[in-house]
Chain A
């Protein structure tokens, strides 16, 4: 069994725990004790809130709307479509016609890239996330 130390994805307390992994599946969680906020304890979400990872309804392929329906597409196709739409919108309506909502659930690195995409690449400060909510 592999044990991977990580940080809880739920509330802002930032408890840490080990994900116990067998055959590429998380089987259980062990609270972290040393150097942690939680010191060996966890709440319900931290303890048992991991199986959404293997939920059957997870999105596993990019989807593109064609004739009103969302259909599966390749990564290249999806990324190219988004990029060309972004460029097209910038050309026709200027950078401030684009906006992004970033994610308070995703990592710092991802939030950094999201705002960099909007600021440095698109050229707008229309970036927000739902901290207010």
Chain B
């Protein structure tokens, strides 16, 4: 049996809503090298989204579902499973937003597409303007890729000052929980028997 997909999740009891994770994510995924920061022309495009309301504060991102609704819904097969993550092939994405509808977490977002710091245009689709038809900007689906290939692992986890984020590896999670439960039983038995 293959391992279950790992994912990043936040602890709402710890998160202070500082947004370090959002910017850290955007920086590692920026398509222009960070060296030119300051001359940056592309907008901030994070892949996790801070929820901050009176009740709860925490970022939300992709769970890398095993039976990924986004992938199952995508009409052009742009979303696939690769190396333990659910991956969006932005070149193949047609911007139909079906995955957005399908994702129960709101982890999928449609974002402007950039290549080498330049806005990518549609191949054909034009918009009628006063100055005649203009090629439309391309939008593609975007979501957490668990920072595959990023040195030091997920940027959001590495940079959160509150250690509010962690990578959950489901199989390990189960084993740790089992161990914790076993120890708890041992503890209570001790108390009873003395």
**So, do A and B actually touch in the complex, CB under 8 Å?**
yes
How close is A29's CB to chain B, nearest CB, in angstroms? 10
- A42 and B161 CA atoms in complex are apart in Å by 6
Check B35–A44 contact: CB distance below 8 A: no
A120: interface (CB < 8 Å): no
Q: Separation in Å of the A21 CB from the closest CB of chain B?
A: 11
Q: Is A41 an interface residue (CB 8 A)?
A: yes
Interface residues of B in 3-43 (CB under 8 A from A): 18-20, 23-24, 27, 34-35, 37-40
In whole angstroms, how far apart are the Cα atoms of A78 and B19 in the complex? 42
Q: Are B23 and A47 in contact (CB under 8 A)?
A: yes
A54 to B36, CA, bound (A): 9
A25 interface residue per 8 A CB criterion: yes
Neighbour of B27 across the interface among A22, A26, A48, A56, CB < 8 A: A48
Q: Interface size bucket, B side?
A: 10 to 19
A-B interface contact total, Cβ < 8 Å: 40
Specify which chain B residues have a CB less than 8 angstroms from the CB of A41 in the assembled complex: 161-162
Interface membership of B57, Cβ < 8 A: no
A43 interfacial by beta-carbon distance below 8 Å: yes
Contacts of A28 in B (CB 8 A): 34
B38 touches A55 (CB 8 A): yes
Bound complex: CA of A53 vs CA of B24, how far in Å? 19
Size class of the contact patch on chain A = 10 to 19
Encode B113-132 as 1/0 by CB contact (under 8 A) with A. Answer: 00000000000000000000
B18/A44 in contact, CB under 8 A: yes
CB atoms of A43 and B35 under 8 A apart = no
Q: Taking beta carbons and an 8 Å cutoff, which residues of A are in contact with B?
A: 22-23, 25-28, 41-44, 47-48, 50-56
Cross-chain pairs A/B with CB under 8 angstroms, 22 sampled: A22-B35, A25-B35, A25-B38, A27-B34, A27-B35, A27-B37, A28-B34, A41-B161, A41-B162, A44-B18, A44-B23, A47-B20, A47-B159, A48-B23, A48-B27, A50-B37, A51-B37, A52-B38, A53-B38, A54-B38, A56-B38, A56-B39
Residues on B lying within 8 angstroms of A by beta carbon are 18-20, 23-24, 27, 34-35, 37-40, 159, 161-162
